[in-house]
Structure 1
Amino acid sequence: MDHPLRATLAAELHARPFLRLAESVSLTHYAIYTEHNPSIHETLLHTLCRDTEIPIPAEGATHCSVQSRCGWHLKWERHTEFSTFTFVIPRKDSDYFNDVATEGIPASWFMQLAGSRFVASRMELLTGDGARAARDALRQWIDGPILVGSNVLGGGQAFCDWCVRPDGFMRFLVIDEGFREEQGGRLLQRLYEIETYRMMALLALPIARRMSRDLDEIHSSLQSLMQSMDAQGADGDDSQLLVKLTHLAVRVESLSGSGGRFSASRAYEKLVLARIQELREERIEGMPTILEFMERRFAPAMETCRSVWARHEQIADRIARAVDLLRTRVNLAQEKDVTRLLVGMERTARNQLHLQHAVEGLSVAAISYYVLSLAAAAFKALHVLSLPIEPELAEGLAIGPVVLAVIAITKRTRSRLLKRNASDEEHVVRPLNQSI
């Protein structure tokens, strides 16, 4: 009775549940991203499951959550462009930000992350006396140049410095002052999602910087061509200018291949801002909130990406308009050339018509002469037969009728040809008009 996709789509709402944390925990989070080896995500998962003897998810699974024999809990998620490995283990000591959450994982597995580890974060969720002691000694654990922190979710505090340490990890310290059920897990997930989506959004920044340099060159070339086109006027080498503008259009179009990256960057930026809003931050005196820090450091980078892409589209539109204008000018010049050619052809046709009339007059005289010559021979023959005909008189009397007859026959022949040509043109034009 149900649609084949109903169960799958309904289960998607519950596909990635938050971690349930009721005590102090240590969390290690990895985000894996690569452009040239999409199979690495499943390979890493299967290798990890095999090495640590945990169940391998079903083929085609995009997420899994499983407890290992080493004590840590694994949460794996496959996203469109990246995958994440999150390891969580209860914290019993105060040796914070160590590798306790990944104990028991072979070093060979971490070696496979080379070149694809895009995000690496260590988080500590602390409760009770340990939380108060860590809060009083924040700079012992988070010693970056800028300490960012705020009261979050109405029941705790989150601190970080957004710095990657020599061990390759970023640190987040979360103080639980009365979180309700699942709030601690939601907070940790939102924090590492903010960092992961932030890094994915920033993938467009290096492209924007390279594209900005290319756009500077294209803009300079376009300005030079436009000035050249204006200076040369209608008498310039428009065909050469059109070739150069087409080359610029090809260069701009080649940059459009990065459009997908910029679109993804905008989507990730929205996710970052949405996750920050979900924190419900309240200021702690003396330090910026996460939102304020992102507005100062992350927002300018995203604005750079947006402005570069907007500039790309603007230059593409300008080149398209320039090509249209130049093509219009070329068409006008061609129409003028065609008009001059038609005028010359009309003049030639008129001269040919006058010459034809002159030739027709000469032909009438020539035909009449030959007809009269034949008639004179006939009259002489009849005179020899003793008929009462004077050849010279008869020939003189026949000049008028012969000339008139030749003129009449010539006119009738010409009119027949004109009618036949008009009929042929009508047969040709009528199908063309019907097809148009």
Structure 2
Amino acid sequence: MPTPEYLDHPLRATLAAELHARPFLKLTESVSLVHYAVFAEQKPWLHEALLQTLCSDAGIPMPAQGATHYAVQSPYGWRLKWERHTEFSTFTFVQSRCDKDFFNDVAIQGVPANWFAQLAGSRLVASRMELLTGEEARAARGAVRQWIDGPILVGSNVLGGGQVFCDWCVRPDGFTRFLVIDDGFRDEQGGRLLQRLYEIETYRMMALLALPSARQMSRDLDEIHALLHALMQHMEVDGAEGDDSQLLVKLTHLAVRVESLSGLGGRFSASCAYEKLVLGRIQELREERIEGMPTLQEFMERRFAPAMETCRSVWARHELLASRIARAVDLLRTRVNLAQEKDVTHLLAGMERTARNQLHLQHAVEGLSVAAISYYVLSLAAAAFKALHVLSLPIQPELAEGLAVAPVVLAVIAITRRTRNRSLAQSGDHDANGHSSVGEIGFNSVPIQEKH
């Protein structure tokens, strides 16, 4: 029987392990947690560099090459959980606590100073969390304001066995605070709760990255909309057809400006995805109200939801304005094409009149040609009759010349008409091959007369 590796698809093991790739923290005691989210859009190499620096300086084994998540115990007592996401990476430090000096640096003691220096300018999220159990939990429940003293205290009963309190304020030390009270969590619920909380904070900040871009884009769209409105009004003015080419150039420039804003589409799309993750993590908390304070979901609906709606509306407005400019360009291009067709029609009519005049001139020249050719032929005939008379032949030159006038004129007319009919027949054959007959008649007939 073949080995399992032989039968499996090359990606089976990787895809199957994805469900277990980021396990929850297993916590059964009071812990202090510090969470960082690193966003380095211009320095994608920084995420792995930070992990390598931390492992090297703190004496931690290096992760496997290409790893996207890593958990390890450090010699300093804290546990590290590192995760590499598409746009950011997270560093979570967890340390057991046996004192009451909450929200201090116990979870990051021993982290090298040069690691923090390397982190400069890329820290998007920094949160301190305290999970309290037993006597510490009961004592902290009555003194929440001692640790969470922001303008608005947000809290709720969660997971049917605990409470969460926060104020979503960044304190002078650069951290936000979450106080979690274990009031009967089942196995591993405390670890899952802390992870959901710092994921809510991380995904919330990642979602809000689109908000500054949305505000700037809104101002750009206001300007483009005003320019488009002015151009459309100018298109409606009588006599503006002469400026269609310039209007088309201006509309094209507006289309280019709108298209240049499309580069932010990835940011807005990611923002929508992060928003869904935030709302999903909040739903997983199974919140129940604590009388007198808003829940996490209510607080998010007050400010986070309007910010996300702003991003969606700005992007929808961008798409609408782009389609309006495209329609305006199509309308103006249609008007330009109609004007060009009108000019071409006038030009062809002028060419037709020119060909008709040339045909009339040709007929007039043919009449003169008949008279001239007949005169030259009769002159030659008169010379011949005189020569024959000198040779004493019974011919009267004047009489013979007079009698020859009618036959000569009729013969010249017949030859001229035959030549013209042959030229017309050749022009008709040439036109049947896809060429213009108007120009052929006019330009072919003139050289014929010149030959005469």
Q: Is the shorter-chain TM-score for this pair beyond 0.5, marking a shared fold?
A: yes
CA deviation map 1:22-62 (0-9, x unaligned): 11111100000012111000000000000111110111111
Displacement over 6 Å in runs of 4+: none
Does the Cα contact within 8 Å between 2:95 and 2:106 map onto a contact in 1?
yes
Does the Cα contact within 8 Å between 2:133 and 2:182 map onto a contact in 1?
yes
Structure 1: how far apart are the matches of 2:363 and 2:139?
119
Does the Cα contact within 8 Å between 1:94 and 1:130 map onto a contact in 2?
yes
2:190 aligned partner, one-letter code: G
Does the Cα contact within 8 Å between 1:44 and 1:112 map onto a contact in 2?
yes
1:209 is aligned to 2:215: yes
Pick from 87, 95, 100 the counterpart of residue 94 of structure 1: 100
> Displacement of 1:421 after TM fit?
2.0
Which residue of structure 1 aligns with residue 155 of structure 2?
149
Structure 1: how far apart are the matches of 2:288 and 2:44?
40
Does the Cα contact within 8 Å between 1:73 and 1:88 map onto a contact in 2?
yes
> Displacement of 1:116 after TM fit?
0.4
1:7-22 alignment, distance < 5 Å: 7-22=13-28
Unaligned runs of 5+ in 2: 1-6, 436-452
1:171 aligned partner, one-letter code: R
Pick from 165, 169, 188 the counterpart of residue 182 of structure 1: 188
1:227-246 alignment, distance < 5 Å: 227-246=233-252
TM-score normalised by L of structure 1 = 0.96
Structure 2: how far apart are the matches of 1:138 and 1:236?
74
Unaligned runs of 5+ in 1: 430-436
Structure 1: how far apart are the matches of 2:164 and 2:330?
57
> Displacement of 1:182 after TM fit?
1.7
Structure 2: how far apart are the matches of 1:415 and 1:178?
113
Which residue of structure 2 aligns with residue 112 of structure 1?
118
> Displacement of 1:64 after TM fit?
0.6
Does the Cα contact within 8 Å between 1:29 and 1:121 map onto a contact in 2?
yes
1:252 aligned partner, one-letter code: V
Three-state SS of the structure 2 residue aligned to 1:87 is strand
Tell me whether 146-155 or 226-235 shows the greater mean CA deviation: 226-235
CA deviation map 1:304-341 (0-9, x unaligned): 11111111111111111111111111122222222222
Three-state SS of the structure 2 residue aligned to 1:164 is coil
> Displacement of 1:236 after TM fit?
4.2
> Displacement of 1:224 after TM fit?
1.2
1:64 is aligned to 2:70: yes
Pick from 358, 365, 372 the counterpart of residue 359 of structure 1: 365
1:220 is aligned to 2:200: no
1:185-334 alignment, distance < 5 Å: 185-334=191-340
Structure 2: how far apart are the matches of 1:66 and 1:256?
42
Structure 2: how far apart are the matches of 1:423 and 1:106?
94
TM-score normalised by L of structure 2 = 0.93
Structure 2: how far apart are the matches of 1:343 and 1:282?
84
CA deviation map 1:104-132 (0-9, x unaligned): 11212111111001100010111111111
Which residue of structure 2 aligns with residue 432 of structure 1?
none
1:81 is aligned to 2:124: no
CA deviation map 1:196-223 (0-9, x unaligned): 0110111111111111111111111111
> Displacement of 1:273 after TM fit?
0.8
Three-state SS of the structure 2 residue aligned to 1:277 is helix
Which residue of structure 1 aligns with residue 342 of structure 2?
336
Structure 1: how far apart are the matches of 2:400 and 2:97?
143
Structure 2: how far apart are the matches of 1:94 and 1:235?
80
Three-state SS of the structure 2 residue aligned to 1:302 is helix
Pick from 32, 39, 49 the counterpart of residue 38 of structure 2: 32
1:335 aligned partner, one-letter code: E
1:136 aligned partner, one-letter code: G
Structure 2: how far apart are the matches of 1:23 and 1:78?
27
Three-state SS of the structure 2 residue aligned to 1:389 is coil
- Identical residues among aligned pairs (%): 81
Which residue of structure 1 aligns with residue 440 of structure 2?
none
Three-state SS of the structure 1 residue aligned to 2:291 is coil
Structure 1: how far apart are the matches of 2:225 and 2:238?
20
Three-state SS of the structure 1 residue aligned to 2:149 is coil
Structure 2: how far apart are the matches of 1:282 and 1:388?
144
Structure 1: how far apart are the matches of 2:393 and 2:161?
147
Pick from 407, 410, 417 the counterpart of residue 423 of structure 2: 417
Three-state SS of the structure 2 residue aligned to 1:36 is coil
Structure 2: how far apart are the matches of 1:356 and 1:179?
110
2:165 aligned partner, one-letter code: F
Structure 1: how far apart are the matches of 2:101 and 2:268?
41
CA deviation map 1:159-210 (0-9, x unaligned): 1100000000000111111112221111111110011011011111111111
Does the Cα contact within 8 Å between 2:234 and 2:240 map onto a contact in 1?
no
Structure 1: how far apart are the matches of 2:281 and 2:428?
80
Which residue of structure 2 aligns with residue 434 of structure 1?
none
Structure 2: how far apart are the matches of 1:411 and 1:115?
96
Structure 2: how far apart are the matches of 1:234 and 1:222?
16
Which residue of structure 2 aligns with residue 138 of structure 1?
144
1:169 is aligned to 2:175: yes
2:345 aligned partner, one-letter code: T
Structure 2: how far apart are the matches of 1:393 and 1:270?
118
Pick from 350, 354, 375 the counterpart of residue 348 of structure 1: 354
Structure 1: how far apart are the matches of 2:112 and 2:177?
23
> Displacement of 1:422 after TM fit?
2.1
Pick from 392, 398, 401 the counterpart of residue 392 of structure 1: 398
RMSD over equivalenced CA pairs, Å: 1.2
Tell me whether 37-46 or 329-338 shows the greater mean CA deviation: 329-338
Three-state SS of the structure 2 residue aligned to 1:237 is helix
